Amino acid sequence: MAGERSISDILQDILTDLEGMVRNEVRLAKVEIREDFSRALSSGIWILAGVVVALSAWLFLLWTAAFALATVMSAWAATLVVAMVTSVAAAVLIVGGIYRAKRIQPTPEKTVESVKETLGWLKQSMK
């Protein structure tokens, strides 16, 4: 029979297919890791922006508001009020960045699911 293949040919095809599937899984994992890295970088930028704004606010608002408030209260009290207000603004920005960072999932879920499907397919094909 000309259409029949030897067992070694079949095993070779299975190994070739398996190698291709593993390469595809690795490719998918790389893509997912890049996406997660991009989100982590974005969250880090948000946190950094919050810190920069907090420092800028600390310097400029403290000077301006403290001098303005010092006209109606003692200088130390005016400085304290301004420092508290800028601290709240900085906290809001930093917490926003941390919230974004916590939403990042470090596990490449699509790859894990795909590997499970591949293993299931292999189990079925071995029967």
66-83 residue pLDDT tens: 899 999 999 998 888 888
Res. 61: pLDDT tops 70: yes
40 within 8 A of 101, measured Cβ to Cβ: yes
Tokens of 99: 């919230």
Most confident of 25-29, 52-56, 90-94, 113-117: 90-94
User: What average pLDDT does this structure show over 79-100?
Assistant: 89
Q: Which residue has the higher pLDDT, 24 or 91?
A: 91
Task: State how far the Cα of 61 lies from the Cα of 101, in Å rounded to an integer.
Answer: 29
Q: Which is nearest to 99 in space by CA: 55, 52, 42?
A: 42
Percentage of the chain lying above the pLDDT 90 cut: 20
- Asked if residues 88 and 68 have their Cβ atoms less than 8 Å apart, the reply is no
Answer yes or no: are the C-beta atoms of 101 and 43 closer than 8 Å: yes
Rg of the chain on CA atoms, in Å: 29
Domain boundaries defined on the chain: 7-112
Would you say residue 108 has pLDDT above 80? no
CB 102 within 8 A of CB 58: no
Q: How high is the mean pLDDT of the chain?
A: 84
Each residue's pLDDT tens digit, 2-19: 568 888 888 888 888 888
